[in-house]
Chain A
Amino acid sequence: MNVIEVENLSKRFRAGGENRTSIFKGISSAFTGRKTAGAFWALRDITFSVRKGEIFGIIGPNGSGKTTLLKTIAGVLYPTSGVVRVSGSINFFLSLGAGCQRELTGRENVYLYGALLGLNRGTIRKNFDRIVDFAGLHDFIDTELTHYSSGMYSRLTFAVAMQAEADIILLDEIMAVGDISFQNKCFETIKEFRDRGKTILFVSHSLDLVSEYCGRSLYLDRGNMVACGDTKQVVELYRGTPTANDKNV
């Protein structure tokens, strides 16, 4: 059963910087007839689907549209054309520490971040010890986030995010920070999720991790879908060492 279906998805952005328009600019461009914004395609004609219970990888160089794709699936961004069909609830973990208030303590942030993810206060209170355990931040939970390292930051937010029960989990480059033991813990959680029939979409630059955990993968380059299919073949294609018959992986 497919839980995510993406069909001919394209996403166009107006060129950066020009977005900050003003009324004055709007009026003057109405007179001069000059368009201020250029545009570029962050995603072009992407079609793929993800099955229930899969760990699905998304790879590609910087600026290839991986995050845009995740954000469109998550519903933060809307497609310019094409369709994204998602069946089930989505929980996503896009950018580390987004939504946290540095001036507040770890404890306060657990509640704030949980609320942002749609968890109610009761649920967070019930799982509070588990969250702190998972993050390994017992000694710092009443410290303000300003004094946290980026690793601690991500451990805290990841621990909270994993409490949000959802059918589909989107992860964007979560392994960039955090030490080995925390990474292992993360992957144990992810595998446990998969075993419980949840679906995981996983963006990473680490081809080793993608090869190890993802059955199938998608390879993006400059917004185009280069390949989609068995991870081994997709990763090899990305590494530039194509196998014999890789045309239709």
Chain B
Amino acid sequence: MIFMKNKYLDLTVQMTLSEFRLRDQGTLLGFFWTLLHPLLLFLILNLLFIKWMGKFVEHYPLYLLVGIVQWNFFASATSYSLSSLIRRAELVKNFTFPREIIVVSSVLTVFLSHLFELLILTAFLLLSGATFTPLFFLVPLIVLVQLILVISISLPLSALCVYYRDIERIWGLIVTAGFFLTPIFYSLSAISEQRRLLLLLNPMTHIITASRSCLIYNNAPNFSLLGIILLLSLLILFIGFKIFRKMQRKFAEIL
């Protein structure tokens, strides 16, 4: 693949770092601003649901927090990279490097913030009495699957977005719906059998569940499910990459 080439790896790193610096203003303060949104969401949902959901879910605040952090990466990374080709139109029009680098570096920009969030989350978990277990070491693996999933969605969507600008709005709706269709602030067991199927088809359900079992409940995650998600993401990535390659010829004149 193209990322094997050293110069493109350099470019991806350069673009990610410079975009990260600009996005968070490169300061600790800027980073805390991006934390504010998930934090506020956590405080409100925790306030509303701890009495109710707390009955079904052990360690509800931690349960909620892991859910929000993991969902937040999915939502913000896809939304941010979706418009990356439009945002960096100038690059598309004046350079010939592979365009997928623009999309991937946008995802990685958000991913960097996500890594910091995960660090803070882990620290918070340990401070609030969770014990450090070897299962913590599986979290990077889960996060990697999540990253591949996000890239596989972002590539074809960002290409389509060049042609159809309203994809951005539509994806916004899907992400909003996804927030409610993922067990973030409620538990799967609280949903009736038939409707649960809808949630189980959502890959983020399994990624969040796996993260929780490693970080909070000290249970081994369901590896076969993660494997299926990984394979599916790789398949979508492959198809998405083909679509992207096919569409990219016209990017420079449409943008």
Contact = CB atoms under 8 A, between A and B. Distances in A.
B255 to A, nearest CB: 8
- Main DSSP-derived SS at the B contact region: helix
Contacts of B14: 111-112, 115-116, 121
B254 interface: yes
Contacts, number: 78
Interface stretch (B37-45, B91-99, B201-209): B91-99
B242 interface: no
Contact of A23 (B97, B166, B254): B166
Q: Chain A: interface residue count, which band?
A: 20 to 34
A13 B14 CA distance: 33
B95 A76 contact: yes
Nearest to A75: B96
B10 interface: yes
A71 B216 CA distance: 55
Given A23-B170, A71-B252, A99 B163 contact: no
A104 B25 CA distance: 10
A98 B132 CA distance: 48
Contact of A104 (B6, B21, B97, B250): B21
Interface stretch (A14-22, A48-56, A193-201, A239-247): A14-22
Contact of B6 (A90, A111, A120): A120
B164 A21 contact: yes
Contact of A98 (B7, B18, B91): B91
Contacts of B94: 76, 94-95, 98-99
B87 interface: no
Interface string B7-20: 10011011100100
A18 B217 CA distance: 55
B161 to A, nearest CB: 10
B166 A24 contact: yes
A117 B97 CA distance: 8
A74 interface: yes
Contacts of A104: 18, 21-22
B193 interface: no
B10 A99 contact: no
A26 interface: yes
A156 to B, nearest CB: 15
